[in-house]
Amino acid sequence: IGLEDARTIVSIFAGAHIDIPKCDRFWRAWTHKLIVTANERQIDLARKFGYTDRHVRRIQRRHQKQKNKDQIDLID
């Protein structure tokens, strides 16, 4: 954030602990969401986002595992 924004935050939240999330964390989550919802081949997604096809596969598997876990929790 810029100096003026930092001063504004300090004047509003003086003495309080605040956490400003990293911008790269937001973009990583956004990119992962785009990869999960895309209907493209893994190799094409890897080229598009600058990842390896193996990493794209990991992202998709992680999402699928979470989706399966959420469905199982609904049954229990």
pLDDT tens digit string along 19-65? Answer: 777 778 888 999 999 999 999 999 999 999 999 999 999 999 999 98
Asked if residue 67 lies in contact with residue 59, where contact means CB atoms within 8 angstroms, the answer is: no
Domain ranges of the chain: 22-75
Model pTM score: 0.61
**Residue bearing tokens 């989706």:** 67
| Nearest residue to 41 (alpha-carbon basis) of 55, 56, 27 | 56
Which tokens sit at 18? 């605040």
Pairwise CA distance, residues 62 & 29, whole Å: 13
Asked if residue 38 lies in contact with residue 46, where contact means CB atoms within 8 angstroms, the answer is: no
